[in-house]
């Protein structure tokens, strides 16, 4: 396996803050510490210096962890005493979306009302990562209460590391931008309607929306329990795999990743007329795929064929497309209504945890939050509707039925064509100009049927758009692989496999140089971007 490790370059420098070509990889950090040249404290100081230098350009962070250096010193002592790492994530810098609880740090959810809501215990997924030695550097910027918006009341809007005039995506945007710009090695986001997938695509990195109930939601501000999930971001696919395996407490995920299988055993489904037919009036808006996204989609399919993957192309007729979008339209209506009506119950459960919050904490119920004088008008109106509809679960019942109907439709595609996964564009559009953003990313989504049904979906960074006057450095493009949740073992080998990052490069030895260059470009190992008129080295 070809490794993307540039540690030999790092060893030439004595100061961590002067590292050149640092590849932001777990293995690199462990190599540095094992060499004895550097320790965990040096690593954390290096990342903190990057935060000071680059975060003002992208606005990815809400709050810093005040004891990160103390935790680094503890890990240094552990390594000195035991001559081994604490775990798989020893000294790996982690960024956490600010709707996920970290002991002693406010969980703001991006709204002023919660800026003093400080939990007494970590979210369960945080405990799992810390037990393996991860170090939380900061909490990341997010859309208010993770509801898909592009701005928070706490620190404002995130600016895309590839173009400061562009969006970082919805909700988990700070977590995506933090990894993309090298402020952390891995990060966590939550996804209810694409908030992990889109920031992965918009920021040119890997991101995974796990199947529902794969990763624990305890200690996370809820949005919609029927669709909420928490997933990782990473620059490198093997780092994503390691993080996810720990989050899910499933070692087989990581073990399967290292098993090589013939590429022709990986069966990828492509709806051949999907792109050309994605011009519909759905959810009150017209879908039309950006030409650059369409070209990237077609290039990637051709690339997979050259690499020897089994690409199964099939088409949907006009009636099938109409039925698909009609079902999606109905699903979305019930989705929104169920989300609103179930909000009180789920938030009461979160705030009512007596171990999580002291008796004198700002809020112990949903209604107390509703009465907060700092709650803005949008959320006051939204919460008021939720209180009115709290006892009406009729739309939730309809949503459950529609989910099963959609699953049956998608599973039929898998069975008819003997597929392991289906590949589709993550977003139909390039990262949008912030002043021209849509109100909902469902309007520019091509993975909504995976999101609404809770199927596991992985965003792959596949390259950049052509340079243009509006995008002088090009913009990142992502495609998504969607699989059935009951195919976890195959999913580990297919969706979470190094085929797009590592093994594909091995297979390219006999292929044209231009194709090799294309894949290396897609990996975003090193590039210089312009942010606010200044050069920022983002690797």
Select the more confidently predicted residue: 147 or 285: 147
Q: Where are the domains of the chain?
A: 23-538
pLDDT of residue 533: 28
pLDDT tens column, 307-337: 888 999 999 888 888 888 888 888 888 999 9
Share of the chain above pLDDT 90, in %: 62
CA dist list (Å): 224 to 228, 377, 438, 539: 6, 21, 21, 35
| For residues 43-72, average pLDDT | 97
| For residues 256-280, average pLDDT | 77
Report the relative pairing of strands 151-152 and 285-286 from DSSP bridges.
unpaired
Reply yes or no on whether the pLDDT at 97 is more than 60: yes
In this prediction, residue 278 has a pLDDT band, given cuts at 50, 70 and 90, of low
pLDDT tens column, 194-226: 999 999 999 999 999 999 999 999 999 999 999
Lookup result for tokens 């949005």: 223
Select the more confidently predicted residue: 504 or 267: 267
Neighbour-count burial of 528, counting CB atoms closer than 10 A to its CB (0-12 exposed, 13-18 middle, 19+ buried) = exposed
pLDDT tens column, 473-530: 899 999 999 987 655 445 454 444 444 443 332 322 333 233 223 323 333 322 222 2
In this prediction, residue 439 has a pLDDT band, given cuts at 50, 70 and 90, of very low
Are the beta carbons of 54 and 181 closer than 8 angstroms? yes
Architecture per CATH, domain 23-538, reads as: Alpha-Beta Complex (3.90)
In this prediction, residue 21 has a pLDDT band, given cuts at 50, 70 and 90, of low
| For residues 421-427, average pLDDT | 91
In this prediction, residue 62 has a pLDDT band, given cuts at 50, 70 and 90, of very high
Reply yes or no on whether the pLDDT at 98 is more than 90: yes
Reply yes or no on whether the pLDDT at 284 is more than 50: no
In this prediction, residue 55 has a pLDDT band, given cuts at 50, 70 and 90, of very high
pLDDT of residue 496: 42
Q: Nearest to residue 244, comparing CAs of 469, 497, 517, 420? A: 497
pLDDT of residue 487: 56
Share of the chain above pLDDT 70, in %: 81
pLDDT of residue 435: 75
Select the more confidently predicted residue: 532 or 446: 446
Reply yes or no on whether the pLDDT at 253 is more than 50: yes
Neighbour-count burial of 360, counting CB atoms closer than 10 A to its CB (0-12 exposed, 13-18 middle, 19+ buried) = exposed
Lookup result for tokens 């609880």: 101
Q: Quote the pTM value.
A: 0.87
The region of weakest confidence among 94-103, 277-286, 367-376, 499-508 is: 499-508
pLDDT of residue 539: 25
CA dist list (Å): 101 to 131, 135, 279, 393, 407: 16, 14, 41, 28, 32
Neighbour-count burial of 517, counting CB atoms closer than 10 A to its CB (0-12 exposed, 13-18 middle, 19+ buried) = exposed
In this prediction, residue 360 has a pLDDT band, given cuts at 50, 70 and 90, of confident
Reply yes or no on whether the pLDDT at 251 is more than 70: yes
pLDDT of residue 325: 80
């Amino acid at each position: 396996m070809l490794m993307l490790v540039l540690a030999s370059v790092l060893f030439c420098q004595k100061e961590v803050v002067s590292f050149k070509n640092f590849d932001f990889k777990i293995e690199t950090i462990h190599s540095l510490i094992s060499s004895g040249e550097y320790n965990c404290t040096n690593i954390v100081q290096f990342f903190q210096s990057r935060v000071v230098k680059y975060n003002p350009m992208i606005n990815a962070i809400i709050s810093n962890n005040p004891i990160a250096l103390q935790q680094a010193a503890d890990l240094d002592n552990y390594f000195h005493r035991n001559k081994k790492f604490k775990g798989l994530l020893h000294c790996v810098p982690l960024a956490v979306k600010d709707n996920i609880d970290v002991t002693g740090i406010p969980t703001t959810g991006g709204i002023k009302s919660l800026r003093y809501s400080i939990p007494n215990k970590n979210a369960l997924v945080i405990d799992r990562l810390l037990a393996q030695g991860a170090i939380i550097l900061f909490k990341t910027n997010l859309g208010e209460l993770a509801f898909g918006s592009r701005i928070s009341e706490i620190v404002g809007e995130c600016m895309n590391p590839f173009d400061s005039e562009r969006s970082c995506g919805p909700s988990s945007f700070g977590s995506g931008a933090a990894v993309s710009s090298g402020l952390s090695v891995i990060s966590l986001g939550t996804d209810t309607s694409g908030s992990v997938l889109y920031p992965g695509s918009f920021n040119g990195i890997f991101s995974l929306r796990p199947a529902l109930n794969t990763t624990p939601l305890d200690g996370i501000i809820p949005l919609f329990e029927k669709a909420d999930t928490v997933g990782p971001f990473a620059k490198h696919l093997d780092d994503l795999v390691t993080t996810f395996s720990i989050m899910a407490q499933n070692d087989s995920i990581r073990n399967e990743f290292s098993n090589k299988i013939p590429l022709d055993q990986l069966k990828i489904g492509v709806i051949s007329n999907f792109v050309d037919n994605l011009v519909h009036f759905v959810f009150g808006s017209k879908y039309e795929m950006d030409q650059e996204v369409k070209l990237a989609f077609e290039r990637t399919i051709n690339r997979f064929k050259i690499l020897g993957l089994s690409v199964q192309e099939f088409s949907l007729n006009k009636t099938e497309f109409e039925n698909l979008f009609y079902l999606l339209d109905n699903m979305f209506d019930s989705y929104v209504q169920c989300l609103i009506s179930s909000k009180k119950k789920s938030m009461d459960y979160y705030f009512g945890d007596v171990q999580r919050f002291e008796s004198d904490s700002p809020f112990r119920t949903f209604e107390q939050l509703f009465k907060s004088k700092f709650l803005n008008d949008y959320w006051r109106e939204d919460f008021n509707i939720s209180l009115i509809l709290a006892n009406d679960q009729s739309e939730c019942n309809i949503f459950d039925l529609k989910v099963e109907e959609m699953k049956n439709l998608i599973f039929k595609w898998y069975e008819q064509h003997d597929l392991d996964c289906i590949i589709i564009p993550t977003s139909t559009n390039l990262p949008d100009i912030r002043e021209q953003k849509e109100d909902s990313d469902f309007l520019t989504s091509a993975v909504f049927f995976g999101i609404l049904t809770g199927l596991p979906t992985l965003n792959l960074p596949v390259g950049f758009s052509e340079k243009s006057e509006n995008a002088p450095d090009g913009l990142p493009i992502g495609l998504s692989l969607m699989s059935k949740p009951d195919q976890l073992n195959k999913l580990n080998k297919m969706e979470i496999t190094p085929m797009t990052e590592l093994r594909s490069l091995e297979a390219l030895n006999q292929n044209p140089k231009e194709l090799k260059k294309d894949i290396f470009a897609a990996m975003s190992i090193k590039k210089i971007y312009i942010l606010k008129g200044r050069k920022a080295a983002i690797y």
